[in-house]
Structure 1
Amino acid sequence: MKRALHAEWTKARTVPGTGWLLLAVLTLTVLVSALAAGTADCTAAGCRQDVARTALTGIYVGQAVVAVLAVLTISGEYSSGMIRTTLTAVPRRHVVLTAKALVLTGLVLATGAVTVAGCLVTARLLVPISLTDGSVLRAAAGSVLYLALIALLSLGAATAVRDSAAAVAVVLGLLYALPLVAQLVTDQDWQRRLQRVEPMTAGLGVQATVDVGALPLPPWAGLGVLAAWAAAALLGGGLLLRGRDA
């Protein structure tokens, strides 16, 4: 495992696209969050919306870049043919996938922490938000974990389908198309059931700091739904990686 981790870390820091994508996550997320905070409806008496969630709006956009980064972590090797070299150097395929997942998770957690902090500090200049409030800290920590889980979900999907474009389409469809489908459902009970299993809707519930009881699931339970999606994707991708030719 140590050799596999070293190899994956070397790839991550020597491939030019990794740094640019991580920078894009940071820049795009903070920018969108700042724009959202700047348009918040707030007065001296307070705000009419969940300011913490507004301050973290950029996560909706930044997660797409995280998905692309995660997909390229393995699909890029399939497109270049380097996957054969990787699997020759480390024949145990589950070790390869585990090493990729660990390095990717570390990078996204570090970038996510800086990004979320940037969103909240920027928002503090525009809207009244307490950076020491327990619910705000939960929203912040949950958002960082959310990005890491999106990365693992995307890595699993890319391992399963191997093609970059197809994997990105699958992940973005799960994140952005499923909520639209739920909105088209007229039956309120069924709509709520769908919202409970959607990876984005359930997962981003962790950002809520007001009207938490109105969420389809409690904040941490919603993040658990996303974790289940990520685990299922990694398990499925790992089984396919193990059972077929490179």
Structure 2
Amino acid sequence: MARPQCGAIRLRAAWRGEWVKLLTGGPGPAVPLLAGLLIVAGGVALGRDAVDPAQLRLLGVRLGQAAVAAAGVQILAGEYGSGLIRATLLAVPRRLDVLAVKAGLLTALVTPVAVLGVGVAVIGLSPDAGMLRAATTSVLHLILVALLGLGVAAVVRSSAAAIGIVLSLLFLMPMLLRMLPDPDWQRVLYRLTPATAVQAITTTVDNSVLPLSPWAALGVVAAWSVGALALGALLLHRRDG
């Protein structure tokens, strides 16, 4: 019975250390999160007379995902850039605890930002099932994108490289897929890229014409995020252990 207790104590200490670094170590992920909040909430004046007002109101989610991805990258890759990661790894002997605590901290930071930004964006709309689903999946999508940024940062350990990879996945992938000569492969791979998720999760009218349903599209983003975190955890354990 002692091991779980020791593990819990170890994680609590790591958790406190991450909060101390966040509060005393400069802006860190705070700047991109603030930018993300403003961008996501910026659609509040759109979509009043549109066929799909929720989709227009949530237009900021498409751009805001870049900001939360940058926050996810910065919370880990920023320490590699500054050299602070050496102190972090000395203070937390179990390398996987580092990633787990950072993922928890990132989720705790992004969740209220996403809820507030999306809530402001859709304020005044009729709270029907479609709007509530679009708002809920938008919040979950922003959290998952932030975790994707963290996972990629754990893999490449460079802020510039990690942000470049995540933004390519979120924005450039559809354009690259159009270069494929086989249209069948284009359709298959298009459904598997996280770049297609925003349109699916924010659309509340004629969802049947989309390549994936909203929840299936969110599942694709979740799979990318879990995969990136798993690979990052493996490399962190082997490379920095």
Aligned to 2:221: 226
For 1:79 and 1:186, locate their aligned partners in 2 and report how far apart those are by CA, in whole Å: 40
Shift of 1:75: 0.8
Q: Is the 8 A contact 1:204 1:222 kept in 2?
A: no
Secondary structure, aligned partner of 1:232: helix
Q: Aligned letter for 1:29?
A: V
Equivalent residue for 1:81, pick from 41, 62, 83: 83
Shift of 1:17: 3.6
- TM-score w.r.t. structure 2 length? 0.89
Shift of 1:3: 0.9
Q: Is the 8 A contact 2:30 2:71 kept in 1?
A: no
Residues 58 and 80 from structure 1, CA distance in 2 versus in 1: closer, same or farther, beyond 3 angstroms? same
Residues 176 and 72 from structure 1, CA distance in 2 versus in 1: closer, same or farther, beyond 3 angstroms? same
Equivalent residue for 1:236, pick from 203, 225, 231: 231
Shift of 1:134: 0.9
Aligned to 2:12: 2
Gapped runs of 5+ residues in structure 1? none
For 2:27 and 2:176, locate their aligned partners in 1 and report how far apart those are by CA, in whole Å: 37
Equivalent residue for 1:29, pick from 26, 29, 40: 40
Shift of 1:30: 2.1
- Greater Cα offset, 205-214 or 55-64: 205-214
Shift of 1:81: 1.0
Gapped runs of 5+ residues in structure 2? 1-10
Q: Report how many aligned residue pairs link the two structures.
A: 230
Secondary structure, aligned partner of 1:58: helix
Aligned to 2:114: 112
Q: Is the 8 A contact 2:28 2:75 kept in 1?
A: no
Shift of 1:41: 8.3
For 1:201 and 1:94, locate their aligned partners in 2 and report how far apart those are by CA, in whole Å: 31
Equivalent residue for 2:103, pick from 101, 104, 121: 101
Residues 51 and 185 from structure 1, CA distance in 2 versus in 1: closer, same or farther, beyond 3 angstroms? farther
For 2:208 and 2:132, locate their aligned partners in 1 and report how far apart those are by CA, in whole Å: 18
Q: Aligned letter for 2:236?
A: L
Matched, 1:179 2:181: no
For 1:232 and 1:196, locate their aligned partners in 2 and report how far apart those are by CA, in whole Å: 17
For 2:56 and 2:122, locate their aligned partners in 1 and report how far apart those are by CA, in whole Å: 10
Q: Aligned letter for 1:142?
A: T
* 1:97-150: CA deviation from partner (whole Å, max 9, x where unpaired): 0000000011111110000011112xx4xxxx31x1111011001001000000
Alignment of 1:92-171 (within 5 A): 92-121=94-123, 124=124, 129-130=125-126, 132-171=127-166
For 2:111 and 2:195, locate their aligned partners in 1 and report how far apart those are by CA, in whole Å: 18
* 1:52-99: CA deviation from partner (whole Å, max 9, x where unpaired): 111100111111111111111011111111111111111101011000
- Greater Cα offset, 204-213 or 63-72: 204-213
Q: Aligned letter for 1:98?
A: A
For 2:183 and 2:169, locate their aligned partners in 1 and report how far apart those are by CA, in whole Å: 21
Shift of 1:167: 0.6
Alignment of 1:208-219 (within 5 A): 208-219=203-214
Matched, 1:54 2:49: no
Q: Is the 8 A contact 1:28 1:61 kept in 2?
A: yes
Q: Aligned letter for 1:137?
A: L
- TM-score w.r.t. structure 1 length? 0.87
Pairwise CA RMSD: 1.9
Shift of 1:194: 2.1
